[in-house]
Amino acid sequence: MTRRLEKSQSRVQRSALSPPPEFVGDPIVWAAWLYYEERMTQEEVADRLGVSRASVVNFLQEARDRGIVTIAVASEHLQSVRVSRELCKRFGLKSCVVIPDDGGRLPDYERIGRAGGRLLTEILEPSDILGVSWGRTVLALSASLPAVHLPGVSVVQIAGSAIGTAEFSPELCTTNIANRLGARCVNLYAPGIVSRPEVKKLFMQEPTLVEQFKLIRSCSKVLFGVAGVGRASTALRSGYMTPEKIRPYVQGGAVGVMSGRFFDRDGKPVLGPLDEQMIGLTLREIARSPERICIAGGPDKVEAIGGMLAGGYATILVTDETTAQALMTRH
Q: Which of 64-78, 151-165, 282-296 has maximum average pLDDT?
A: 282-296
Q: What pLDDT is recorded for position 3?
A: 39
DSSP β-ladder status, 256-258 and 261-263: antiparallel
- Residue 155 belongs to what domain range? 75-330
CB within 8 Å of 112: residues ≥ 6 apart: 99, 137, 140, 295, 296, 297, 318, 319, 320
Pair 88, 108 in one domain: yes
Outline where 185-229 has alpha helix (H): 197-204, 207-216
pLDDT per residue as tens digits for the range 8-40: 333 334 345 677 766 667 889 899 999 988 889
- Three-state secondary structure readout of 98-116: EECCCCCCCCHHHHHHHHH
Are 132 and 223 spatial neighbours (Cβ–Cβ below 8 Å)? Answer: yes
Partner residues linked to 278 by β-bridges = 193
| 3-state percent breakdown (helix, strand, coil) of the chain, nearest 5 | 50, 15, 35
DSSP-based three-state secondary structure for 331: coil
Q: For the domain that residue 41 is a member of, what is the CATH number?
A: 1.10.10
Of 65, 83, 104, which residue is a domain's last?
65
Q: What pLDDT is recorded for position 324?
A: 95
DSSP β-ladder status, 129-132 and 221-224: parallel
pLDDT per residue as tens digits for the range 162-171: 765 555 688 9
Pair 162, 241 in one domain: yes
Pair 120, 25 in one domain: no
Pair 212, 243 in one domain: yes
Q: For the domain that residue 209 is a member of, what is the CATH number?
A: 3.40.50.1360
Pair 97, 219 in one domain: yes
Pair 133, 10 in one domain: no
Pair 42, 141 in one domain: no
Pair 160, 251 in one domain: yes
Pair 83, 61 in one domain: no
In a domain, 128, yes or no: yes
Backbone angles phi, psi at 38, to 5 degrees: -90, 0
Backbone angles phi, psi at 9, to 5 degrees: -65, -40
**pTM for the predicted model, two decimal places:** 0.77
Are 94 and 315 spatial neighbours (Cβ–Cβ below 8 Å)? Answer: yes
Of 44, 65, 86, which residue is a domain's last?
65
In a domain, 70, yes or no: no
pLDDT band at 202 (very low <50, low <70, confident <90, very high): very high
Pair 21, 117 in one domain: no
